[in-house]
Amino acid sequence: MATALAVTAVGAPPSSASGRHHAQPVRLIFDTDFGGDVDDAGAAAMLNAMQDDGKVRVLAMMTSNLTRWAAPGLDAINTYYRNGNIPIGALEPGYDDPENNNLSTYAEHLAKSFPNDVRDSSRVLEAVDLYRKILAKQPDHSVVIAVVGGQTNLAQLLASRPDHHSRLSGAQLVAKKVHHVVAMGAQFPTGFEWNIRLDPAAAATVAERWPTPVVYSGFEVGDSIYTGRQLFFGTPPANPVRAAYELYVGFGNNRESWDITAVYYAVLGGNGMFRRSEPGVVNFAADGSNNWTPKPGANRFYLETTAPDGEIAGVLEEWMVQPPESGRHRHDG
């Protein structure tokens, strides 16, 4: 019954803040491969701005990138927005793999050059432990998870056993506490996308076994929506997100908005810019490639855009450049 309820409501986040009804903020966990592409930093900026505006309550941020710089880099962004109390969890804290091909320079730069309390990913909780701790305390069917990297943490959460946080197994805890997941990954109807390739087995596990609805924001959604340039002209050099973009794309340049579009939808729903597909089933091969099969009554969906790319980009960038604690509250959603 709980899953059926979630399916009917998945078009908008629980307690979705539309700006019209003074709804409660969406309870959200952000799961990111921070330190790879720079749109993860843009998504973190947008979440902080949305929290300032009362649209979302960020319960925690999880990193899935195997680098010691991911957690402190995230904390540097949160600290800049005066949200340094957001808990952060890490996959295998402090582990650095010289073969890690999902690492750019910006995470280390943010960790070393901007104020943060973490300093090293070894100093934060392991991601699954933090997931269980946070979820156990939330109202039933209330949490949205936005995952914009590999889905390793989610697969490990599903496999987790009862502990001091909850007597429920991971799958039971997810079914009881999570409303739905928005996952940046795959390409629809078929494709071969980076986030899935990071951990194809985990993506397949989530697609097959995750008990609540999953909405995929595919590669094609954010690939032609360019954001980031306004960070250089609308925010100060002290902004770590601006610094991340400058290192990754160069001063004054844009980047595709894969993670940013997914996070926007996770908090605010379609808002005339996105809609979800008819239900279906997504299958992932061992190499990370995917295909989609429509199936009435299923609880997997993918996003489609319903507005011009430039219009969407303008809305997204307005959130990305909003000053910390601006209190403007002037967005229409």
3-state secondary structure 114-137: CCCCCCCHHHCEEHHHHHHHHHHC
Instruction: Select from 218, 71, 64, 75 the least CA-distant residue to 154.
Output: 64
Residue 98: asked if its preceding bond is cis (omega within 30°), the reply is no
| pLDDT tens digit sequence for 161-219 | 999 999 999 999 999 999 999 999 999 999 999 999 999 999 999 999 999 999 999 99
Token output for 236: 């100060």
Residue 237: predicted pLDDT: 96
Is the predicted pLDDT of residue 23 greater than 90, yes or no?
no
CA distances from residue 217 to 51, 222, 246, 249, 295 in whole angstroms, order as listed = 22, 8, 26, 23, 18
Mean pLDDT of the chain: 91
Q: What value does the mean pLDDT take over residues 90-95? A: 70
- Residue reference for tokens 């019209």: 20
Cβ atoms of 43 and 227 closer than 8 Å: no
pLDDT band with cut points at 50, 70 and 90 for residue 66: confident
> What's the pLDDT at 99?
61
Q: What ranges make up the beta strands (E) of the chain? A: 26-32, 56-63, 88-90, 125-126, 143-147, 178-184, 190-192, 214-217, 226-227, 255-256, 274-276, 280-284, 289-294, 300-305
> What is the distance in angstroms between the CA of the first residue and the CA of the last residue of the chain?
30
Share of the chain above pLDDT 70, in %: 88
pLDDT tens track for 228-269: 999 999 999 999 999 999 999 999 999 999 999 999 999 999
Mean pLDDT along residues 285-292: 97
Average pLDDT on 2-28 reads: 56
3-state secondary structure of 65: coil
Mean pLDDT of 287-295: 97
The arithmetic mean of pLDDT across residues 311-329, rounded, is 87
pTM for the model: 0.92
* Paired residues of 88 in beta bridges: 61
Q: Return the beta strands (E) in 261-305 as ranges.
A: 274-276, 280-284, 289-294, 300-305
Bridge-based pairing state of the strands 88-90 and 255-256:
unpaired
pLDDT band with cut points at 50, 70 and 90 for residue 67: confident
Residue 295 CB neighbours (<10 A): 12
In which residue are the tokens 């089933």 written? 281
